[in-house]
A and B are shown apart, each in its own frame.
Chain A
């Protein structure tokens, strides 16, 4: 067994668990800040960070992608703007509850969706090296539950027994689930399938109200569940169709704009569902790569490298655009085509984990991302 140095949080977790067994109250939580919540919005297909938060202060932006710049963008500061689809998010920025990280990505430059998605969820050192995800491993380490709002269990949440998922069903002709029946099926299964049926059994005892399936409603549902005692401390929602090779468009009614609007709606849904728990919450977006700086031949963009990350939640008390801007001229681009990434997005994920789950940065760097020298950027986001 490798020696693990317990952080203060873990120590409190461990001691409170044993105290609980002894029938005593949980003194640890009264003195220590209770864990926050962490939610991930996965943007599948590769979000174009230059459209989501256009750096209009860079003179090369209009030279490189004249046809892709939103006209009525919202102004963030003298350099960065915000896509008009982010109306709600811009309100959060104004209230110091949201930030943007720009020119950032996981350190992956080969431009494959599937390798990139595997890396951004697995958090390993190379694609397909991990069978668990960085959030799942973190929850396992902190012994906290997480939930995905999807039919499948995404890689990012695998690696812990404490994960679960939820997606409303609508099947004609099936009656209510019988707990005893499912328990029995579970008993005859082994290993993972047995534990999955056990989770179905738990579901059968819960009376969920009818939840619409649009991402915003799912986010609201997730937020509400996370706000409750003993609820999941983490949730994951996926938005598809960011792979805008053709007809990307500029405004909030275009292909890309509509997807960005969904992200905005999801964040609004989370806030509504979380209620008071918003104050200790962090939500972050995740995408496998950004897109080419230049517009391609079919009014879209190709797979690239650097993108942008959107952060929201009451855990943020000062809004910022965090960037070490690499520039957009051809020589400043990665491979003379992509927005360069100057911030390792794993550092952003690590800071959010540290904030929400109370895990030590060094533990996260080493045990979750296998990169002991991963830069700690916590203070840029949360101080």
Chain B
């Protein structure tokens, strides 16, 4: 591969057929960190007509409050469906409730289109890395909030400080719900006191406290104790409210009633800054030797402390190197990133710049995730594989929803999955079924996506190596050529030019 595509393969999503290739690709890659990230999308005016890239209309970009309200209404209607109330139990009503009030399908399409048409391909790759680092899977009906976390807590903070991103993700509804923090309360909190008096169960949940230490920051190498975990959970106690819900699934509150209650509980209707004093553990807490004061401000002190901890820097620098440089990064690869992290005090632009520089310096190949590979294939060929946002409501037998595409591919940020996220090295992805999916999707993209470039044109443009050309030239039919090309070691990131 030529240098432009080698770098776009390792660090980006590949250049679309119409994009003029940058001459100084290293400067281009670093400039990419400041590229604008508009919510691009395509609209298909009529079936098979040319796709028109547009900005997504406001109506399909709800803000957090709308997302909460939609989710609340979704659960409200679900409850009424369970109660067997007329108007809520028909198949049409159930489907309508899903379509109108849940956002998983729309958000996955938005994510897909942004990755296919976005001109900020490196930023999008870093966004995916962090979305994986701060995994919030779709359990507890988290689907209305995952996309918001990716857009607003990660992408919007990509050029800020790591500690800030850490704080914004830790306090996001998507994380607080996913790792069970919303109901947690300190054992000496007001809430626990009253619960005990009334004979109810209430107290601490250490799930987020544990993963904050193990996965999001210092990792087990820091040798924290069970008490450190408990104290971190105590700092977190009080944070969060179930997105769109307050008391639980049985709740039947109107939006106004819910907002009124939220104001009483946390003084705000903003679920991204929601702290219940009644649930907070009084007194200072000690985590890895750091004394954290009581109250709402304690968490920021904790995430700032953990975000700049040496173990955090080492652990995440290794992950960055493994994801972008090589499956088995060298000490020099990792050190290069940790140094930039320390020099810049956690400034993500400096960290990402170091990753870019190191990935360019290293001539090791890098095996790509299924979702990255899918975007590579679509962008390289100019195919139109994902539906337009205006088609979501239509039923079209020939078109798979983005959600189903990712599901079949075996990777999606909207899946129900474990908080350690997707593995960064190739070993986990080497399976017959995973590889079979790549063949099938290459086929489906060729057959249904009307690629604008032929395999030969793609190979010329990227400067494909001899081995790839030789593989592709074994076939007469263009479809076979296309599949062979996209499943070649070079495009999969298993071998170098």
Contact = CB atoms under 8 A, between A and B. Distances in A.
Given A113-B418, A177-B440, A188 B431 contact: no
B222 to A, nearest CB: 12
Contacts of B416: 240-241
A203 B471 CA distance: 21
A267 B22 CA distance: 58
B433 A177 contact: no
Nearest to B396: A172
Nearest to B432: A199
Interface string A277-301: 0000000000000000001111110
B432 A178 contact: no
B183 A174 contact: no
Contacts of B257: none
A67 interface: yes
A172 B433 contact: no
Given A173-B444, A189-B489, A297-B192, A152 B431 contact: yes
A205 B398 CA distance: 26
Contacts of A113: 418-420
B443 A302 contact: no
Contacts of A202: 432
B398 A203 contact: no
Interface stretch (B90-98, B198-206, B349-357): B198-206
Contact of A190 (B444, B483, B489): B489
B467 interface: yes
Contacts of A112: 210, 214, 220
Contacts of A210: none
Interface string B148-172: 0000000000000000000000000
Contacts of B220: 110, 112, 115
A294 to B, nearest CB: 9
A169 interface: yes
B432 A203 contact: yes
A299 B398 contact: no
B432 A164 contact: yes
A188 B441 contact: no
B400 A172 contact: yes
Contacts of A67: 201
B474 interface: yes
B194 interface: no
**How would you classify the secondary structure of chain A's contact residues: helix, strand, loop or mixed?**
loop
A322 interface: no
Interface string A29-68: 0000000000000001100000000000000000000010
Interface stretch (A179-187, A351-359, A372-380): A179-187
Interface stretch (B28-36, B315-323, B422-430): B422-430
Contacts of A165: 431-433
A57 B486 CA distance: 61
B315 to A, nearest CB: 13
B214 A184 contact: no
B308 interface: no
B480 interface: yes
Contacts of B480: 178, 181
B437 A169 contact: yes
A174 B444 contact: yes
Contact of B180 (A152, A298, A335): A298
Chain B interface residue number, banded: 35 or more
Contacts of B203: 296-298
Contacts of A170: 404, 408
Nearest to B429: A152
A11 interface: no
B201 A114 contact: no
A323 interface: no
Contacts of B408: 169-171
A75 B410 CA distance: 41
A151 interface: yes
A18 interface: no
Interface string A188-222: 11101100110110110000000000000000000
Contacts of B431: 148, 150-153, 165, 196
B495 interface: yes
B399 interface: yes
Interface in B419-471: 419-420, 427-437, 439-441, 443-444, 447-448, 467-468, 470-471
B483 A192 contact: no
Given A192-B430, A200-B435, A299-B201, A173 B471 contact: no
Contacts of A325: none
Given A174-B444, A185-B471, A189-B494, A297 B432 contact: no
A370 interface: no
B255 interface: no
B227 to A, nearest CB: 11
Contact of A171 (B180, B398, B437, B467): B437
Nearest to A181: B480
Contact of B433 (A167, A190, A245, A246): A167
A241 B203 CA distance: 22
Contact of B440 (A152, A174, A185, A193): A174
A67 B200 CA distance: 10
Contacts of A182: 439
Contacts of A181: 439, 475, 480, 483-484
Contacts of A153: 428, 430-432, 434
| Residue from B226, B399, B432 having most chain A Cβ neighbours under 10 A | B432
B8 interface: no
B444 A184 contact: no
B116 interface: no
| Residue from B184, B399, B400, B487 having most chain A Cβ neighbours under 10 A | B487
Nearest to B492: A193
B37 interface: no
A165 B428 CA distance: 13
A173 B187 CA distance: 56
B183 to A, nearest CB: 4
A185 B418 contact: no
Contacts of A200: 432, 435-436, 439
A256 interface: no
B488 interface: yes
Interface of B: 139, 179-180, 183-185, 187, 192, 201-207, 210, 214-215, 220, 226, 397-400, 404, 408, 410, 416-420, 427-437, 439-441, 443-444, 447-448, 467-468, 470-471, 474-475, 480, 483-484, 487-489, 492, 494-495
Ranked nearest first, the 8 interchain pairs of A and B with the lowest CB-CB distance are A297-B203, A199-B432, A153-B431, A174-B440, A173-B444, A173-B448, A245-B180, A298-B183
16 contacts: A111-B210, A152-B433, A153-B430, A165-B433, A169-B437, A171-B440, A185-B471, A185-B488, A188-B467, A188-B488, A193-B435, A200-B435, A297-B187, A298-B202, A298-B205, A302-B207
Given A182-B439, A297-B202, 7 more contacts: A44-B418, A175-B443, A181-B480, A184-B471, A193-B435, A241-B139, A298-B183
